[in-house]
Structure 1
Amino acid sequence: MKHRERIAAYRLLRERPLWKLLAADHAPELIGLLQGLLLDHERRLPSAVLHERLQRQLDVLRADELSRELPRTAQAYVAHWLAQGWLERRLPEGAEEEEYELSRAATQAIRFIASLGDGHAGRATESRLSLVIQQLVQLAGQTESDPDTRLAALQAERARLDEEIARVQAGQLAALDGKRALERTRDLIHLTDELAEDFHRVRDDFERLNREFRERIIDDEGARGDVLERLFEGVDVIADSEAGRSFQAFWNLLNDHEQAGRLDEALEALLARGFARRLGRDERAFLRGLTGTLLERGGEVHAVMQHFARSLRGFVQSRGYLEQRRLHQLLRQAQGEALQLRERLHATTQTGYTLALSGSRLRSLSQWRLHDPRSVRVDGRVQAAEVAAISLESVGDLVAQSEIDVRGLRRDLHELLGEHLRLSIGEALRHRPAVQGLGTVIGYLSLGTRHGVLSEDEWEIVEWQGGDGSARRARIPLVRFTREKRDELV
């Protein structure tokens, strides 16, 4: 029974993108192309760049007689890889074209194949055993609840440190030899490289959570589901999930200035050692850019998490889920009715309903008529518009929706009324320019309703110059400001 279950599980895995890539017809060529384009150096490429580079590599391979035939074009291969789940396509915010990167399954497959040819990978090294022992001892100490046992372990550790300090003070240094140091460094490079790739898995987890939460909101038939209730309460369900809390803790540790400083100092000291010269150029470059790589990939995941949280909250606040829920219910209703009719109606039964399909009928090119722009030519002459009328009822709304310098207008009126006994808005505009254009006129009208004398039946044509240098005109109620109310404008 166990063998049967295991075989059934492997059959399901056989349909996964990772296994499909390993078992593809041209697997060596495909894996080599994917690794060279999107793993060894750049991890993400714009669509045009990926197509151009892939086509160039395909031309080189086809010119090689030892290479197997690769019949498709670069665009066809990219579309096929995307459909197989070996590539992922995204449109970053502000980007002009889509970007492609390897899927997590393709990355795992490529690393698995690469490790088969690496004699160092997968070996039981002294550094790995030391790391395991160190972590086990630390875990045992941190989980110890007996104070006496914990105190004894700390005292033993202090005694060991005192002995080591005494040996160093006496000039007895026991530094690692170059071979063992090189082995440990490469083990750390392999471990941190896998850690950097884990960001891809975390981002996939957030995408899965976003889909699950949306499906739960749509599928819930009650007034409010658990996720919906928490979102209405202002809870960030993405950040509050297990994956969100784990990543947030990692992100806080990665952004700790003290921790980052110690990491940079350790990397600089390590690269200054003599054995570091025996590292490959790619290995040294990886160590130099380790902090930046972790921050860059962690920042991408953090941005994805924040984007999903905002979009999920906006999905709920805009009530968009109600329309999605209604559509989902209609689809389920249609499916239920179709299941009830399947015994009475066959696929070839006439339903009496005609569905008009959109399409085009192919004809000979000689029967086509070219479009003549003159047949739909419009009159391009510009007519002078009538003078715009501004009513007092609209002044309040316009003032509330605008940022008008009312204080400056008060100051201008106060100064002008010191020179004139009475003043209309048109006269004020002739003495002082409309700095804010129509906003200045609206501001004067607003002040006139409180500090001026309004004429219900009289109107005034006011003129001012717009920001483009063109003259503007408006028809407004006649408002007069008098010197008697000059002090109210202070």
Structure 2
Amino acid sequence: MTYEYLKNLKNRHIALKLLNSDNFAFIVSFIYFVFNTKRHITVPQNVIEEYLEDFLNDLNRTYGEIFPKSAGEYLNDFTGSGYLKKYYDNSGEVLYEVTPYTQNALEFIENLEKSEFVGSRTKFNIIFELLEELAFETNLSDEERIGSLERQKKEIDKKIEKIRRKEYLKFDSSRIKEHYMQIVEQSRKLLYDFSQIEYNFRELNKEAAEQILSAHHDKERLLGSIFDVEEKIRESDQGKSFFAFWQILTDAGKNEQLSRLIENLYENSAIVEFDRDKALKDLKYDLLNNARKISKVTTRLIEQLRRFLDDTVWIEHKKILELCKSVQKQALEVRKAPPKTKAFLRIDGVKAEIDTVFEKKLCSIKTESAFVHALQEKPEEVDLTDFYHIFYVDEEELKRRIASFLQTKPQVSLQEITVKFPVEKGVSELVSYLSLAKKSPDHIVSEEHVTLEIGDEAGERKRVKLPKVIYTRERDA
């Protein structure tokens, strides 16, 4: 951190510009209210304008007319300065979301708040465990790793014996608070990181698009570039980490365990007394919503590149058509006014190929087959009645099946549903289940694939591979 670096950083980094802004308190308090207090990830334009109008009215009533602009003008200022991002979704609706730079500023401000105490013991234990895990997975030989596991096994056996003898003491209130504070801090940092993760994916996609634009490849090589981009995003350090996290988060067992752990957390009187607002009660939903958004953004970025490929090919086809029309136009002009010389048009890069008469093959006599007897074949009668008896899949019945599971648990996978309610109407029934998942933002269609056994009306059993589907209970407003 040199003097020059810090001086330039202050002038160009958006987070520091926000902290130095004259309207710092107004901007940060409003953004925190919308995206933290109200827990929005993206906000439609009409909603955020309504929030800002009410916010401005409250401030102007309290402190005088200190903010004279309209809500729309201030929103334009926020997006122009890089504090908020404004974009259009697939339906053409204008949406707003926080930029990574604003997230950095919010996190910095939250870290300035004075803590009741610092959990140095828990933080050191985390560091020590990470060091041990790193050494175990990278530096130790097989014999050393086995020895380490044997020592852990002995320690676990000792704890079991202490519990049986009633000697194993549980955490006191200080240790409970220390662990809880660490969980809250890491959860908050993880939620702030999502904006940066999305930004990193967009940068990878942007670099790939620039490479494609600067290169003049044929369609096949362009298509290969698209696949390389997708592979690059997934195989990058950021991609590996995020998609591994996403796979764990959408695992039905892990998800159910996370819900149970959070519920049990607030059954502890020490934690309830320490955190009456229950800061982690919506943690699972916040993680799912933020991660789902990044997953959709990644898919959308790849689709944008594919559309760019289609546009590129269309432009090439257009050039060919224009060239053909140009040739036709010249042909019409030549027909109306025949040239006086034999050579009337020159084409660059083309030469005539001359075939001599000796290169032609001699005449070959064709032999025709003569049939003595006519083919006698009875016309096959096809029963088309089954074609008109197409079965009907009742989506309302499928909804009732899903709802019956979600009454007792926060989420359920399609695999669990088909165990209790086997698929008897073939692929059409599976397509209906997938359609229901796509219609609701509360449900998840993962990129992970699973295999299900299904039946059809003929009684045949088949195995079908399809994306993993998780139905989630609708979150209370």
TM-score range, shorter chain: 0.5 to 0.7
Aligned residues of 2:219 and 2:313 also touching (Cα < 8 A):
no
The corresponding residue for 1:93 is 90
Amino acid at match of 2:75: V
Aligned residues of 2:85 and 2:99 also touching (Cα < 8 A):
yes
Change over 3 Å in CA distance of 1:120–1:319 after alignment to 2: farther
The corresponding residue for 2:164 is 169
Quick one: distance in 2 between partners of 1:137 and 1:297? Answer: 31
- The DSSP-based 3-state class of the residue aligned with 1:191 is helix
The corresponding residue for 1:267 is 262
Quick one: distance in 1 between partners of 2:208 and 2:228? Answer: 15
Amino acid at match of 1:51: E
Q: Deviations over 1:11-46 (max 9, x none)?
A: 145212101100001212221122112222232322
2:307 counterpart of 1:314:
yes
Aligned residues of 2:98 and 2:195 also touching (Cα < 8 A):
no
Please state how far the C-alpha of 1:267 moved relative to its aligned partner.
1.9
Quick one: distance in 1 between partners of 2:25 and 2:230? Answer: 48
After TM superposition, the score normalised by the length of structure 2 is 0.61
Aligned residues of 2:208 and 2:229 also touching (Cα < 8 A):
no
Please state how far the C-alpha of 1:111 moved relative to its aligned partner.
2.2
Q: Deviations over 1:122-149 (max 9, x none)?
A: x452211121112212222222432232
Amino acid at match of 1:61: L
- The DSSP-based 3-state class of the residue aligned with 1:39 is helix
User: What fraction of aligned residue pairs are identical, expressed as a percent?
Assistant: 21
**Highest Rg: 1 or 2?**
1
The corresponding residue for 1:292 is 285
The corresponding residue for 1:103 is 99
Identify which of 217, 226, 231 aligns with 1:231: 226
Please state how far the C-alpha of 1:308 moved relative to its aligned partner.
1.4
Identify which of 254, 265, 275 aligns with 2:249: 254
Quick one: distance in 1 between partners of 2:210 and 2:270? Answer: 55
Amino acid at match of 1:292: Y
Please state how far the C-alpha of 1:101 moved relative to its aligned partner.
1.8
Pairing of 1:326-475 with structure 2 (within 5 A): 407=384
Quick one: distance in 2 between partners of 1:59 and 1:232? Answer: 51
Aligned residues of 1:238 and 1:308 also touching (Cα < 8 A):
no
Task: Please identify, of 149-158 and 77-86, the stretch whose mean Cα deviation from structure 2 is larger.
Answer: 149-158
2:271 counterpart of 1:276:
yes
Amino acid at match of 1:179: S
Identify which of 31, 35, 60 aligns with 1:34: 31
Please state how far the C-alpha of 1:241 moved relative to its aligned partner.
4.4
Amino acid at match of 2:266: L
The corresponding residue for 2:177 is 182
- The DSSP-based 3-state class of the residue aligned with 2:37 is coil
Aligned residues of 1:218 and 1:321 also touching (Cα < 8 A):
no
Quick one: distance in 1 between partners of 2:237 and 2:25? Answer: 38
Amino acid at match of 2:56: L
2:89 counterpart of 1:57:
no
The corresponding residue for 1:371 is none
2:134 counterpart of 1:139:
yes
The corresponding residue for 2:22 is 25
Aligned residues of 2:60 and 2:66 also touching (Cα < 8 A):
yes
- Listed as ranges, the gaps of 5+ residues in structure 1 are 327-404, 412-490
Q: Deviations over 1:158-197 (max 9, x none)?
A: 1111111000001123111112211211211110121122
Please state how far the C-alpha of 1:9 moved relative to its aligned partner.
5.1
Amino acid at match of 1:100: Y
Change over 3 Å in CA distance of 1:150–1:321 after alignment to 2: farther
Amino acid at match of 1:17: I
- The DSSP-based 3-state class of the residue aligned with 1:56 is helix
The corresponding residue for 1:215 is 210
Please state how far the C-alpha of 1:86 moved relative to its aligned partner.
0.2
Pairing of 1:196-215 with structure 2 (within 5 A): 196-215=191-210
Q: Deviations over 1:310-342 (max 9, x none)?
A: 22123224435967xx9xxxxxxxxxxxxxxxx
Change over 3 Å in CA distance of 1:234–1:291 after alignment to 2: closer
Give runs of ≥4 in structure 1 deviating > 6 Å: 224-227, 232-235
Change over 3 Å in CA distance of 1:232–1:178 after alignment to 2: closer
- The DSSP-based 3-state class of the residue aligned with 2:86 is strand
The corresponding residue for 1:462 is none
Quick one: distance in 1 between partners of 2:116 and 2:308? Answer: 50
Equivalent pairs counted in the alignment come to 325
After TM superposition, the score normalised by the length of structure 1 is 0.60
Please state how far the C-alpha of 1:279 moved relative to its aligned partner.
3.4
Please state how far the C-alpha of 1:107 moved relative to its aligned partner.
1.7
- The DSSP-based 3-state class of the residue aligned with 1:78 is helix
Quick one: distance in 2 between partners of 1:90 and 1:155? Answer: 56
- Listed as ranges, the gaps of 5+ residues in structure 2 are 320-381, 389-477
Quick one: distance in 1 between partners of 2:189 and 2:309? Answer: 37
Quick one: distance in 2 between partners of 1:263 and 1:76? Answer: 43
2:69 counterpart of 1:72:
yes
The corresponding residue for 1:7 is 4
Amino acid at match of 1:182: K
